Amino acid sequence: MIGRGRPGPDLFQRGLAAVVPPWMDRNLRLLLATRMAMSVGRSVLSIVTALYLAALGFSGLEIGTLFVGVTFASALMSSAVGLLSDRVGRKPFLVVVPILAAGASVAYATTTAAVVLFVAAALGSFGRGAGAGGGNVGPYQPAESAFIAEDVPAGHRVEAFGRVAFTSVLGGLVGGLMAQLVDAGPHTTAAAALGAYRPAFLASAVLFLLAGVVALGLREPAAHGRRQTNRAVRPSRWPRRSWPALWRLWITNGTNGVAMGLFAPFMSYWMYRRYGVGAGQIGILFVLVNIGSLSATVMAPAISGRFGTVRAIIAVRMLGGLLILPMVLAPTFWAAGAAYFLRMLAQRVGMPLRLSFVQDMAHPSERATVAALSTVPAQVTMAGGQTLAGYLFDEVSLSAPFEIAALFQCVDAALYAILFALSPPQPSAAETAGAPGALPAADPDGAGGKPETGKGTDPDPGQAGADPVGGHAGVDPVGGQAVREPR
């Protein structure tokens, strides 16, 4: 009888360890808190920004032009954050960038002047990555990803990025509920728009400011890549050690950027134009999507271990492209929402896989730089896609941008297969000879071929035999097959 009481505490401890495992330190908990605050604010803005601009009388082309300015400004800021944080540390940017977004939100809450709105949107990265969720937290993401890669043991990176993605989805859920702060119909006048949308912008400003304040408590990881790298391998301004992976990421991200630019920033605007719904109904849809897809983010490590990271990324990108078509052809708002829900399930699985994969393909001293530079082509092509989408919305049809986006995302999946599965990046001669942080040599056949003993060096010194994509030890990133750890 006495023994029956013992499993209770043990069960509680196991449950606590599952939620807060031993490798999740104070830094990661603070980062998750900042990500939560940023994601809630971004989610609110992803719903209301385009609707607010439309209520002020902006045309589809004008909204697209504003998003182009945001894209270019964000590309410059992301590149600067990546390059500088590899040299001065990650923390300053995790504090400053949210404060900039807070100031931009205050500007939107207090004025309708077009010039101010354009400048504020650029500084706050409004419209960069939209839809149901706040996965894109702005230009500081390269610093955040590199911080996590350095703070978390190599064997737990996919799990860590999965928790980041889970937090983003949870933030998107809360943001969808907060969109109910907007008391405006789909055809509100410009005079009433400022008052109607002001609570949402002010709430976002508070959240962004909170994220910056919480980030003040972060401590730069002791095993910072700039200090752990062998002194004989000096950091360079150009990420030459990560070049084999970087140029491949440029091609795939650039192609995907066209697709994302054509539809992602315009989701709420398209629903408003296509079905005549306002922020309230769109917010409810996004809440339901986020509730249903919460589990998808925590499935990423298991999917990576079973199929391989590259194969999983290819699959979710192809599925995401195909699901755009039934969404845009749906006769009713809720039918489109059902297709959108399925697409977001795939997108949520892919996000932690992609973030972890990029970090582990990069040399430790170049992580933030690679994270930033790898997205630059996507920013450029996204800008072109946004301009084209604005024109197509006004002059052709509401469905045309989405149909073209579906084509480009399917092409992107095929390119990912060619560049990372059939012809994966190989380490340079210097890295193969034993330089620290060598790029892992993925299985070129994608079927779990056995590498030679000693190959596939882990990007983090002292983590021998870890998965090169930050998942489970000894798992091939392409084929998902277990391989023997080198001795």
* Domain chopping of the chain, boundaries: 22-219+241-422
Contact status, residue 303 vs residue 353, Cβ threshold 8 Å: yes
Residue 219 pLDDT exceeds 80: yes
Cα 233 from Cα 197, distance rounded (Å):
52
Continuous H helices in 114-242: 114-124, 141-151, 157-178, 190-215, 225-228
Comparing 10-14, 49-53, 257-261, the range with the smallest average pLDDT is 10-14
Contact status, residue 186 vs residue 277, Cβ threshold 8 Å: yes
The SS3 call for residue 155 is helix
- Helix (H) or strand (E) segment spanning residue 16: helix 7-19
Cα 339 from Cα 343, distance rounded (Å):
6
Cα 149 from Cα 143, distance rounded (Å):
10
Residue 472 pLDDT exceeds 70: no
Q: How confident is the model at residue 13 (pLDDT cuts 50, 70, 90)?
A: low
Top-confidence residue, 439 or 250? 250
Residue 471 pLDDT exceeds 50: no
Supply the DSSP symbol for 470. Answer: S
Residue 174 pLDDT exceeds 90: no
Class of domain 22-219+241-422: mainly alpha
Helix axes 309-329 and 243-263, enclosed angle (nearest 10): 10
List Cα–Cα distances, 476 to 441, 447, 448, in angstroms: 9, 9, 6
For residue 19, count other CB atoms closer than 10 A to its CB: 8
Contact status, residue 326 vs residue 339, Cβ threshold 8 Å: yes
% the chain with pLDDT above 90: 24
Contact status, residue 200 vs residue 268, Cβ threshold 8 Å: no
Q: Note the pLDDT tens digit of each residue in 114-128.
A: 999 999 998 888 866
Which pLDDT value is given to residue 231? 41
Residue 225 pLDDT exceeds 70: no
Residue with tokens 């052809």: 329
Q: Which of 401, 411, 414, 415 is nearest to 325 (CA)?
A: 401
Residue 276 pLDDT exceeds 60: yes
Residue 326 pLDDT exceeds 80: yes
Which pLDDT value is given to residue 457? 34
Cα 413 from Cα 421, distance rounded (Å):
11
**Which amino acid does the sequence have at 183?**
D
Which pLDDT value is given to residue 265? 82
Cα 447 from Cα 56, distance rounded (Å):
55
Supply the DSSP symbol for 156. Answer: G
pTM: 0.65
- Chain-wide mean pLDDT for the chain? 77
Residue 468 pLDDT exceeds 60: no
Which pLDDT value is given to residue 57? 86
Q: Note the pLDDT tens digit of each residue in 24-51.
A: 888 889 999 999 999 899 888 888 888 8
Cα 124 from Cα 42, distance rounded (Å):
10
Most confident of 25-29, 50-54, 205-209, 473-477: 205-209
Which pLDDT value is given to residue 320? 92
Top-confidence residue, 359 or 340? 340
Residue 2 pLDDT exceeds 80: no
Q: Which of 49, 136, 85 is nearest to 368 (CA)?
A: 85
What's the token pair of residue 348? 């949520």
Residue 356 pLDDT exceeds 90: no
What's the token pair of residue 286? 């996004």
For residue 126, count other CB atoms closer than 10 A to its CB: 30
Cα 276 from Cα 187, distance rounded (Å):
9
Helix (DSSP H) and strand (DSSP E) numbers for the chain? 20, 0
Residue 142 pLDDT exceeds 60: yes
Cα 134 from Cα 128, distance rounded (Å):
10
DSSP per position, 406-466? HHHHHHHHHHHIIIIIIS-----HHHHTT-TTPPP---TTSS-PPPPTT-S--SSTT-TT-
Estimate to the nearest angstrom the gap between the alpha carbon of 149 and the chain centroid.
15
Which pLDDT value is given to residue 99? 94
Q: Which of 383, 385, 418, 381 is nearest to 404 (CA)?
A: 385
Residue 263 pLDDT exceeds 70: yes
Q: Is 398 exposed, middle or buried (0-12, 13-18, 19+ CB in 10 A)?
A: middle
Supply the DSSP symbol for 73. Answer: H
Q: How confident is the model at residue 474 (pLDDT cuts 50, 70, 90)?
A: very low
Torsions phi, psi for 94 (to 5 deg):
-70, -15
Comparing 57-61, 188-192, 299-303, 416-420, the range with the smallest average pLDDT is 188-192
Cα 17 from Cα 11, distance rounded (Å):
10
Cα 312 from Cα 300, distance rounded (Å):
9
Q: Note the pLDDT tens digit of each residue in 387-416.
A: 898 889 888 999 999 999 999 999 999 999
Q: How confident is the model at residue 212 (pLDDT cuts 50, 70, 90)?
A: very high
Q: Which of 134, 117, 78, 66 is nearest to 389 (CA)?
A: 66
Which pLDDT value is given to residue 205? 95
How many CA atoms lie within 13 Å of 278's alpha carbon, on the beta-carbon side? 16
Instruction: Round to the nearest angstrom and report the end-to-end CA distance of the chain.
Output: 49
Which pLDDT value is given to residue 452? 36
Residue 107 pLDDT exceeds 90: yes
Residue with tokens 């697409």: 343
For residue 20, count other CB atoms closer than 10 A to its CB: 13
What average pLDDT does range 184-194 have in this prediction? Answer: 68
